[in-house]
A and B are shown apart, each in its own frame.
Chain A
Amino acid sequence: MTMSAIRGSRRLIAGAAGTAALALVLTACGGGSDDGGSGDGGGGSAESMVIGTTDKITSLDPAGSYDNGSFAVMNQIYPFLMNTPYGSPDVEPDIAESAEFTSPTEYTVKLKPGLKWANGNDLTSSDVKFTFDRQLAIADENGPSSLLYNLDSVETPDDTTVVFKLKSENDQIFPQILSSPVGPIVDEDVFSADAVTDDQAIVDGKAFAGQYSITSYKANELISYEAYDGYQGVLGAAKTPKIAAKYFTDASNLKLEAQDGSVDVAFRSLSPTDIEDLRGDDSVKVVDGPGGEIRYITFNFNTQPYGEKQSDADPKKATAVRQAVADLIDRQALADQVYKGTYTPLYSFVPDGLTGATEPLKEMYGDGQGGPDTDKAKKTLEDAGVTTPVELNLQYSNDHYGPSSGDEYALIKDQLEESGLFKVNLQTTEWVQYSKDRTADVYPAYQLGWFPDYSDADNYLTPFFLKENFLANHYVNQDVEDMILEQAVTADEAKRTELLGQIQEAEAKDLSTVPYLQGAQVAVTGADVTGTEDTLDASFKFRYAALAKG
């Protein structure tokens, strides 16, 4: 075992070791190894910083992964055609000069001239075409190619011009798609056209042109970054020349290293308990930003109490049951007790921070100020003629949305039963079975969460409330459907925002789902770290380049 172990790990690192770039990293951090023994090495100077995370990387190839951990790395190292500047959820041209609809089905992007990859290759429209063609060709099951649902073909009239031919007209979402996980541009000389490219080949080929390039890479353990001066996009140059990203699996270890200074910035995901504890620690700063993750209860319109396939089917009563649930949930208590403020109450289907988000549920349900109201729920149920207590089978996943789900649903059960209006049977199932059961009408009401593909309100509406939807909960409302389809092609921003508001209003009456929590982005940094506030924005992209120390 010993010998083969040596061979195995040598192959893993051989490419990176000994390169000149690595020597540079060492010059930056080398001094630190003297105090490494005491475990407080850290970055040492403003030249370099250590970032800790519990993220997981599946692949550095944009065609081979579709998860937060991998995308977090891609945001540092690959350029995008469209990107969100610091502090905004809306997209602007990144390494492009301009991007616009030149006809209803043609979206034309002009690249800045003279762009180069970190390996010296030219970055041209040919790379861009290659990027999207290979996404569609590979269509890996773990990849994001499905986001290109509206892309027909890509044309390149010249070296700096790219024309995207779209299937449907005036797609207002497409610019957002270009900033999404399917959007990172890759080097056609390094990446394979028809297969997911190996991480090490990407690192060896230095196929980077984002704010940083990777100088050494050990999957899910340690990544060394170095600022790439050839990046000319909307985000500007990196503030800290060298970054080491350290991958943890145990959040409490990350917390302790953040506390003792071994890690300068801890981002994703410390436990609520840890974060609360760190808020009282002067040696670190806890920085909060809006988060894109939402948590909601989905109702199955066929099998919920008084649902269409029940013997006592009655749409009015069914709606009253959903509304009573919305009245009774104490969102603040959930946010505080279970998540210690790392989640915030959510009163709409589109989370706070995104363009077009409103809070219709706040006024319509509970005490009108966001709190629960038992009397209101009682009246709602009585008016509809519902006999109480209503028996509700409520299902949650014990392994997909983190270890606190058990606590979350125990508290929801408690809140609903406290009123005397509900009798809740709480059940849990592991995720694989859960996913099968929920679309097979097994669960009358169940927990789900959502993390957006791109920072647009549409991503919180289209997948959920059209006739054919991801929830498969048999919800149909033609008005809502029409409005959702309309906003997606409305170019006038003010008009679109108004439409989004109307959709949320209408949906708040129907309550196909009852949203209740929105995840906050929380970073913990050393007291001397600046810039965290700038990147903890509604783009949900954490850019290392915004961070500086001292």
Chain B
Amino acid sequence: MRFLLIIPTVFILVTTVFALMRATGDPITAALGGKLPPDQLQQLIHAAGYDRPILVQYWEYLTNIFSGDFGTTISDNRPVTEVLTTYGAATLELACYAVLVALVLGVPFGMVSGYFRDRLPDAVLRILAILAYATPVFFAGLILKLVFSVWLGWFPVAGRVSTDGEIAMQLAGADSGFMLIDAFKTGDPAVVLDVLSHAALPAIALGLLTAGVFLRLVRTNMIGTLGTGYIDAARSRGVKEGRLVRKHAWRPALIPIITVAGMQVAMLLVGAVLTETTFEWRGLGFQLSEYLQARDFVAVQGIVVLMAVVVAVTNFLVDVIAALIDPRVRY
């Protein structure tokens, strides 16, 4: 029955956003107030229906959202849905890289940390993990950028692809929104390399944050399973320690990792807002901060609603998957 909770959850999120956004007044005044004479402003407000009773507006907002209509941005007159789909792909791509970085760093080091529990490697790794998630992602990004692109010159400063690469992609008709796929479509290895080198620093900045969480989690679960009879039995059979860790101890630890990985979506999305801003990665987070600067609250509302709903739905899916994998998990 818990699965049905997704409906009220989404409803509450959507309502919260609406209530907060309207508490500031109408979006037209926010975006254009001071730029237009009051009578013109009033006309626009009337045309957009922001002078109607709040409940009528709320009902319209709900029905529109459920039919996939998020309105039109005020600052650049684009359908919000188009903004969401165009830039959502970029954010998804960044999130994938970041999760990859997090897994590659977090899982093996978490295993090492758990295995050497309370000894030096554990101490060092745990401090690093805590450092990773106590560091604001924009500060980490700033330092990475300073070291690897300004001082060492190994990676480009910002963006998702260089100008030449982008033109090559346009020529190849590659416009999936996923840069790496597009780069492969051009068939030019230089473009692929270009895209990857642009992705490296943002992926690491965002991935480090998550890696710290993964490391902690894997460590905890390693300690838990290493202490169970299952491992003791294997150990008594003469299974070597390395194999013990690799083959036996980590499997039971997998489910919670999936669960937490799902829960990291919220963190990834918020991290993405700050990472994308630092590295000019043109995704949803980047657009969000752009629209915030422009005080375009229709766009802000759409992006925030989407992010909140994505988080809620992911958590819900994780619940379902966990229940499927492990029948003991009941709701």
Tell whether A and B belong to one assembly.
yes
A residues adjacent to B (C-beta < 8 A): 1-2, 4-10, 12-14, 16-18, 22-23, 25-26, 29-30, 32-39, 41, 50, 58-59, 141, 196, 216, 218-219, 221-222, 224, 244, 246, 248-250, 253, 256-257, 260, 262, 399, 431-432, 434-436
Binds A, one of B25-33, B107-115, B265-273, B319-327: B25-33
Which partner residue on chain B sits nearest A198 by CB separation? B77
Are A436 and B33 touching (Cβ within 8 A)? yes
Are A6 and B163 touching (Cβ within 8 A)? no
Are A9 and B191 touching (Cβ within 8 A)? no
Please judge, given known A-B contacts A17-B175, A256-B149, whether A39 and B156 are in contact too, CB under 8 Å: yes
Are B86 and A253 touching (Cβ within 8 A)? no
Which partner residue on chain A sits nearest B35 by CB separation? A435
Please judge, given known A-B contacts A33-B188, A33-B194, whether A221 and B282 are in contact too, CB under 8 Å: yes
- Complex CA gap A58/B159 in Å reads 21
> Could you list 17 further interchain pairs (A-B, Cβ under 8 angstroms) beyond the known A33-B167, A434-B34?
A1-B92, A1-B310, A2-B92, A8-B82, A9-B177, A17-B173, A33-B164, A33-B188, A36-B164, A36-B168, A39-B155, A218-B166, A222-B166, A250-B277, A256-B149, A431-B34, A435-B33
Are B165 and A36 touching (Cβ within 8 A)? yes
Among B81, B82, B290, max chain A CB count under 10 A is at: B82
B16 part of interface (Cβ distance < 8 Å):
no
Are B175 and A9 touching (Cβ within 8 A)? yes
Which partner residue on chain A sits nearest B44 by CB separation? A141
Are B164 and A9 touching (Cβ within 8 A)? no
Are B170 and A22 touching (Cβ within 8 A)? yes
Are B190 and A253 touching (Cβ within 8 A)? no
Interface size on B, residues (CB 8 A): 57
Please judge, given known A-B contacts A9-B85, A9-B175, A9-B177, whether A435 and B188 are in contact too, CB under 8 Å: no
Are B171 and A23 touching (Cβ within 8 A)? yes
| Residue in contact with B157 in the complex, picked from A6, A256, A436, CB distance below 8 Å | A256
Are B173 and A33 touching (Cβ within 8 A)? no
Q: How many A-B residue pairs have CB under 8 A?
A: 160
Are A250 and B158 touching (Cβ within 8 A)? yes
| Residue in contact with A260 in the complex, picked from B153, B170, B286, CB distance below 8 Å | B153
Please judge, given known A-B contacts A1-B85, A33-B168, whether A253 and B177 are in contact too, CB under 8 Å: no
Are A1 and B88 touching (Cβ within 8 A)? yes
- Complex CA gap A491/B330 in Å reads 88
Shortest distance between the CB of A266 and any CB in chain B (Å): 13
Which partner residue on chain A sits nearest B150 by CB separation? A256
B89 part of interface (Cβ distance < 8 Å):
yes
A2 contact set on B, CB distance < 8 A = 89, 92
Shortest distance between the CB of B293 and any CB in chain A (Å): 8
Please, what's the 1-or-0 string for B174-203, where 1 marks a CB less than 8 Å from any CB in chain A? 011100000000001011011001000000
Which partner residue on chain A sits nearest B40 by CB separation? A141
B residues adjacent to A (C-beta < 8 A): 29-30, 32-36, 40, 44, 75-77, 81-82, 84-86, 88-89, 92, 149-150, 153, 155-159, 161-168, 170-171, 173, 175-177, 188, 190-191, 193-194, 197, 277-278, 280, 282, 286, 290, 293, 295, 310
Shortest distance between the CB of B56 and any CB in chain A (Å): 25
B89 contact set on A, CB distance < 8 A = 1-2, 5-6, 9
Are A432 and B286 touching (Cβ within 8 A)? no
- Complex CA gap A4/B86 in Å reads 8
Are A41 and B282 touching (Cβ within 8 A)? no
A33 contact set on B, CB distance < 8 A = 162, 164-165, 167-168, 188, 190-191, 194
- Complex CA gap A121/B30 in Å reads 42
Question: Can you give 27 contacting A-B residue pairs, CB < 8 Å?
Answer: A1-B85, A5-B88, A6-B175, A6-B177, A8-B177, A9-B176, A10-B176, A12-B86, A16-B170, A23-B171, A25-B171, A26-B167, A26-B168, A26-B171, A29-B167, A30-B164, A33-B190, A36-B164, A36-B194, A38-B197, A41-B164, A216-B170, A248-B158, A250-B280, A256-B150, A260-B157, A436-B34
Shortest distance between the CB of B306 and any CB in chain A (Å): 9
| Residue in contact with A248 in the complex, picked from B150, B156, B280, CB distance below 8 Å | B280
- Complex CA gap A50/B166 in Å reads 13
The 7 closest A-B pairs by CB, nearest first: A435-B34, A8-B85, A39-B156, A5-B89, A253-B158, A37-B193, A32-B164
